[in-house]
Structure 1
Amino acid sequence: MSDKKEDRRVQRTRTMLHEALLDLIVEKGYEAITVQDLIDRANIGRSTFYFHFVDKEELLVDTINRTREFLKEQMSKRTIAEETGRTSFGFSLAILQHVQSHKQIYRATVGKQSGALVLHHMKRMITDLAREEIEMQLSSSDSSLIPQDLAVEFVVNTLMTLMIWWMDRNAHYSAYEMDRMFHQLILNGIGWEE
């Protein structure tokens, strides 16, 4: 019983720190945030912060990992619900919906010098998701002339460019419209057909 209480307390503290980080990114930009800012916003002690995280970058990586798990969960729910067979790059809609629902955070990071580290870790997350799918797609197709690592770079950079364009220009497109644009760019560029 005490393990469950401790697990809930740990989860609650981590959630408060994740929320504090995201709020402060919007307000100050990632680079300007200090550990003191985080502990003040989350209303926790310094030792509690360091019990959970080594520094603010580890908190950032943990936040992005939580986002990745959330996105994978959303993708699997959608796949199960739709039962439509194979869809290329199913992760893109989940990512774009996440961006749309967290516009303030993404606008505070994309294309900004202070958001470079955030984008670096986000790009790593998207790279992992893209690599998983591309390995499945290209391994089943022996006739592909495109090396997997090149295909991954192409897909990731296209999605990142699309997201930056969307946020920088405050373009009034929905996540679904952006996903259609992404698929049109990718599938024509790689030559896959859905």
Structure 2
Amino acid sequence: MSNNLRVDPRVIRTRALLGNALVECVAESGFESLTIQEITARATLNRATFYLHYRDKNELLEDVFERLIGAAIPPPPAEGISIDPREPICAMLEHVSQYAEFYRAILGEQGVPFFMKRMRTKISPIIGAWLSRAPGMTSPAGDPPEVIITYITSAYLGVISWWLENDRPLSSDEMVEELLTITSGGVLAYLEKQKTG
């Protein structure tokens, strides 16, 4: 007998229906005023089914977040493996572009603060891994300063929000180049100055 537990395909299908319904509803009318009834109606399920899977819409949003962002942002590479920052940033931007209406609603002014915080949590390790492998960009302790990682991560999320609010005036590739140019010309120069100054 196998110790691997298999999830019932009906559970997977139901959660996918609810998640897709949430994404569609949030894209249309935002998250805060969204009701369980609206989500279940869109998913063509009843409220009782919803509550078999989730406590509330926040738990559903968390599940959707993990599914969406897990597909978009790979984990940081193992220590010693070089990282090209273009790859994860481009993958994230293409993913955000694919679900633009959802992310516009969730990251915009009327968005969901915990979602932005969760995105920061997912992106920060990648930024940290990239900085730790950039020549001369670590602190005397050997790691990039946390304040710099937070600064870059928050700046990237702010620029992504701007990109969505302005109907993506630049392609994903152009955005990657803009972000990396700003980062390498600004923050990285600042870090280098801190080391020599």
Gaps of 5+ in 2: 190-197
1:60 is matched with 61
Q: Structure 2 vs 1, CA of residues 33 and 69 (structure 1 numbering), >3 Å: closer, same or farther?
A: same
- 1:8-36 CA distance string (max 9 Å, x none): 11111111011100110122111111011
Q: What one-letter code is carried by the residue in structure 2 that aligns with 1:97? A: E
Uncovered stretches (5+) of structure 1, i.e. residues with no partner:
none
Instruction: String of CA shifts for 1:60-112, please: whole Å, max 9, x gaps.
Output: 11111111221245x89xx9xxxx95313642211111121122223333333
Q: Which residue of 2 aligns with 1:125?
A: 119
> Which protein has the larger Cα radius of gyration, Structure 1 or Structure 2?
2
In structure 1, what is the equivalent of residue 132 of structure 2?
138
CA distance in 2, matches of 1:13, 1:169: 34
Q: Does 1:96 align with 2:89?
A: no
Of Structure 1 and Structure 2, the greater helix share is in: 1
Which of 97, 107, 110 is the matching residue for 2:107? 110
Judged with a 3 Å threshold, the aligned counterparts in structure 2 of structure 1 residues 143 and 168 are, in CA distance, closer, same or farther, namely closer
Superposition pairs for residues 70-81 of structure 1, below 5 Å?
Answer: 70-72=71-73
In the alignment, is the contact (CA less than 8 A) between 1:26 and 1:105 conserved in 2? yes
Q: Which amino acid aligns with 1:41?
A: R
How many equivalent residue pairs? 179
Distance 1:155 1:11, change over 3 A: same
> Alignment identity in percent?
28
**Alignment-derived partner of residue 161 in structure 1:** 158
In the superposition, the TM-score normalised over structure 1's length comes to 0.78
TM-score when scaled to structure 2?
A: 0.77
Q: Is the 8 A contact 2:83 2:130 kept in 1?
A: no
2:15 is the counterpart of 1:18: no
By how many angstroms is 1:56 displaced? 0.1
Q: Determine the C-alpha separation between the residues in 2 that align with 1:111 and 1:21.
A: 16
Moved more, 103-112 or 17-26: 103-112
CA distance in 2, matches of 1:43, 1:191: 51
